[in-house]
Amino acid sequence: MKNLILYALAIAPLFVSGAISADLEISTHCSCDENTNKVKYRTLEVNGVNIAYREAGNPENQTIVLLHGFPTSSHQYRKVLNQLSDEFHMIAPDYPAFGNSDFPDSDKFEYTFDNLASTIDAFLEKKNITSYALMIQDYGAPIGFRIATAHPERVMAIINQNGNAYEEGLGAAWKDTKSMWANRNKQTEEALLHAFSIEGLKWQYTHGTRNPENIDPDTWNLDYLKMSRPNAHAVNLDLFYDYRNNIKLYPKWQQYLRDNQPPLLIVWGKNDAFFPESGAEAFKKDVKEIDYNIYDTGHFALEEDADKIIPKMRIFMRKLKL
């Protein structure tokens, strides 16, 4: 009891000065709903395929649909989900054969970007999500632009982190893939198998970063686990090959941008070997007003610069309310 009295006497001046009362005021005025804001890990059946997805935030708030890239999943948006769920409703699906979604056999599911996009579009329909901002990265761009061109009235804005829509945005790392586009055979396929190795996956996360020690090894180790499943290499080679059809749609996506002028936030890692800064610059040809931000990092810019990108996202989304 004596120690308790002494402690109370010691902290009393802090209450008088406001040092503790200020902290109490902050916590008292927090409008956060911990249960609503907490990330939920759910699944939804879409045309016979269970789509896994992460969801956070109040569905009555503005929605951001987060579309992931290769070789990852909704896991790439974990920081965004955790930090922005206090103000926005966010939903991040895993494509079929990615993350925790079902991995149907290729004789039951056609692994093309057309089909991935139609599946995610149907997923959003089933969730009754009909007004949203799209966040796109890597594979998220061809999937997102297909959805946007199908439903331009639903897409309130685009947040673009290394999501390409221009031929000048295809970097040097596409060399081996372009060889397969020209002539798909055993030799050109084998030249791409390194992309599924632990070393190749690690390279995708660490190449172009300021410091590889900033990047969580769990990222490429989780991807390696998924890429090691039976038939995963074959399915992803099919998607590599189908990527050539995305380029054929670039003019359509560019026309969509010119016609609709969606609010556009660019948060781009300039050292991306697949989609260098020239890909970000190209959007200036078609979109009149861009919140344009370039970071000295690589393909997965959120891994190294989330502390800069996520506040940009918050400010950008707030402006949509005005």
pLDDT in tens, 131-190: 999 999 999 999 999 999 999 999 999 999 999 999 999 999 999 999 999 999 999 999
- pLDDT value of position 322: 66
pLDDT exceeds cutoff 80 at 9: no
- pLDDT value of position 183: 98
pTM exceeding the 0.95 threshold for the entire prediction: no
H/E element, 225? helix 218-227
pLDDT exceeds cutoff 80 at 274: yes
Higher-scoring residue by pLDDT: 226, 3:
226
Write out the E strands in 144-263. Answer: 155-160
207 carries an active-site annotation: no
- pLDDT value of position 37: 86
| Residue 167 CB coordination number (10 Å) | 12
- pLDDT value of position 178: 98
Work out the average pLDDT over 241-251.
98
Work out the average pLDDT over 243-270.
98
Q: What is the mean pLDDT of the chain?
A: 91
What CA–CA distance (Å, rounded) separates 165 from 78? 25
- pLDDT value of position 321: 78
Residue 154 vs residues 16, 132, 150, 232: alpha-carbon distances, Å? 53, 6, 9, 33
Reduce the DSSP state of residue 194 to 3 states and report it: helix
| Domains, in order of start, for the chain | 1-30 (no CATH), 40-320 (3.40.50.1820)
pLDDT in tens, 11-55: 444 333 333 333 333 333 334 456 778 999 999 999 999 999 999
Work out the average pLDDT over 247-252.
98
Work out the average pLDDT over 254-269.
98
- The residue behind tokens 């692994």 is 111
Query: Which candidate in 68, 75, 207, 299 is catalytic?
Result: 299
pLDDT in tens, 81-122: 999 999 999 999 999 999 999 999 999 999 999 999 999 999
